[in-house]
Structure 1
C-alpha cells in the first residue's frame, strides 16, 4: 500500500507539470494571463507557429544540435580509448588519473566558468583563435564535464567485460586496437550508447556556460528560451510550446535507445 501511494505521488509530480505545460501551450496569451483553468477554454495551435517568429528558434535549434552532438560524440570517442587503457593496463599515475577524473564531478560548474573564460580570452589574444561566442568554444567547454563522466562510466563498464576475450584475441594475433574495436566495443555497445545519450542530454540542457560564452549567432536553445520573456510581456504560452518542441529530440532519442541506456547505466554502476 505504501509503495503504491509513493508511486502515485511521484507520478503526480511528473504528470501535473507536464499537463500544465501542454494545456498552457494551446491557450491564447490572454487566457494564460487570466485566471488559471485546468482545461483550455479557447483551444489554439497558434503558439506553436509563433514560437519560430518571436525569437530565431530555428537558429538556436541548429546551434544546440551541432554543439550537443559534437560534444557528446567527441567525449565518447576520447573516453573509449582512455577508459580501455584504465581498465586493461596498470601504469604509473593510474590511480591519480582516475581519482582526478572522478573528483571533477564534485565541483559546481560555476567554479570553472571564470577560468575557462579567461583561458579562451588569452588564447584569442595569443593565437588569434576566437572561442568566446563560437560553437567550437562551447563544444570544448562541454567536454570539460561530459568527458570525465564518460571516462568514469566506460571504465566501469569495460571492467565488467571478461579479460578472457582480450586474451583470446591476443592469441589470434590481434593488436590492442583490433581487440578494442572488434571484440570489446561490440560487447560494450549498451554502455557506449548510455554514455552518448547522457552526454547529449547534459549538453542539450546546459544553461550556465551557454549564457556567458555565446552570442546571438551561437546561442543555444536552453538560453534562447529566455527571450520569450521581455520587458513588455512574457509569452507564457509560447514558452511552454517551445519547451515541448525542445524536449522532442531528447524524448525520442531516449525512447529509441531506452533498453541500451538502462542496461549501460546498470552495468557501468557495478564496478
Structure 2
C-alpha cells in the first residue's frame, strides 16, 4: 500500500498567518479609507469636492485650511471645547479619585447600593437626562440668577453626569488592585488617609487615572447632543460649530473635512502620547 504522506505541522500555523494577514489588511483598509477621503477632500477646491468623488485628485490646495478659520469662528469654538473638556476632565478625575478610594478602602452603610447605583446609570441613554437637566438649569437660573443654561459651566456639569459614574466605577476596580500594604506602610511612616492617598496610592494608580482622564476628555470633546441644546453662539463647542460650514445655499465639504482633521489633532495626539498608560489602565484589575 502507498505510504500516507504526513502533513507538515507548520501547515496550520501558515494557514492561520495567511488568514490573519488578509483580515488585518482588510481591517487596515477599512480604517485608512475614510482617512484618505478626508485628507484628499480637504485639499481639493470646492468645485472638485461638490461633484463626483475622484480617488486621485487633479489638483491640491491648502486654501481650505485657511478658510476654515474665517467661514465660522472656529478659534472661539476651539477655546470653548478646550475649556469645557479640560474642566470636565479635571473635575471628573479629582472627584472620582476621592470617591473610588473611599469605596475601595472603607466600609460604610449603603456601600453596595452606591456602587450598583453608580454602575446602573451607564445603562440609560444620555438623551434621557437632557430634558431634566435643561429644566434644572433653567429653574436654577430663574431662582438664583446663576446662568447655567447657555454657559460653559452648565455644559461641564452636564458632562459630569455621564462621565463621573464610569470614572468612579473604573477607579474602584483599579484601587482594589493596589495592595493595601502600601496604605499601611504610609500610615506607619506618619501619613494620614489623605497623605497615603496622594503620596502613595495615586502615584501607583497613574495608569488608571490616565485612562479615566482620556475617557472623560474624549467624551466631552466629541459630544454633540448636550452641546447643541445647552450652548449659545458664544459658548458653542467644536462638535456643534462644524455645522456652520453647511448653509442654505451650499455645503463647504472641503472645509468640513479640513476642520474635522484639525479638530481630531488634540485627541489623536493625546491618545498616542498616553497610549501605554491607557492600555495599562483599561486592563488593570482584570486578572484580580
Of 44, 53, 56 in structure 1, the residue corresponding to residue 61 of structure 2 is: 44
Matches within 5 A, 1:46-125: 46-125=63-142
Structure 1 position 167, deviation (Å): 1.4
Distance of 1:139 and 1:202 partners within structure 2: 11
CA offset digits 1:130-158 (Å, max 9, x no partner): 11110000001001011111101111110
Structure 1 position 8, deviation (Å): 1.9
- CA RMSD for the aligned pairs? 1.0
> Normalised by the size of structure 2, how large is the TM-score?
0.92
> Normalised by the size of structure 1, how large is the TM-score?
0.98
Distance of 2:26 and 2:111 partners within structure 1: 45
Could you tell me which runs of 5 or more consecutive residues in structure 2 were left unpaired when the two chains were aligned: 1-17
Question: Are the aligned partners of 1:154 and 1:268 in contact in 2 as well (CA < 8 Å)?
Answer: no
2:170 — aligned with what?
A: 153
Confirm or deny that 1:26 pairs with 2:43.
yes
Could you tell me which runs of 5 or more consecutive residues in structure 1 were left unpaired when the two chains were aligned: none
Structure 1 position 5, deviation (Å): 2.3
CA offset digits 1:36-60 (Å, max 9, x no partner): 1112111100000000010000000
Matches within 5 A, 1:1-271: 1-267=18-284, 269=286
Structure 1 position 268, deviation (Å): 5.1
Structure 1 position 79, deviation (Å): 0.4
Distance of 2:209 and 2:155 partners within structure 1: 23
**What is the number of equivalent residue pairs in this alignment?**
271
Question: Are the aligned partners of 1:194 and 1:261 in contact in 2 as well (CA < 8 Å)?
Answer: yes
**1:101/1:230 CA distance change after superposition, 3 Å:** same
**1:80/1:270 CA distance change after superposition, 3 Å:** farther
Q: Of the two, which has the highest radius of gyration? A: 2
Distance of 1:270 and 1:128 partners within structure 2: 51
Question: Are the aligned partners of 1:102 and 1:149 in contact in 2 as well (CA < 8 Å)?
Answer: yes
Structure 1 position 4, deviation (Å): 2.4
Question: Are the aligned partners of 1:153 and 1:268 in contact in 2 as well (CA < 8 Å)?
Answer: no
Which stretch of structure 1 is more off in the superposition, 116-125 or 30-39?
30-39
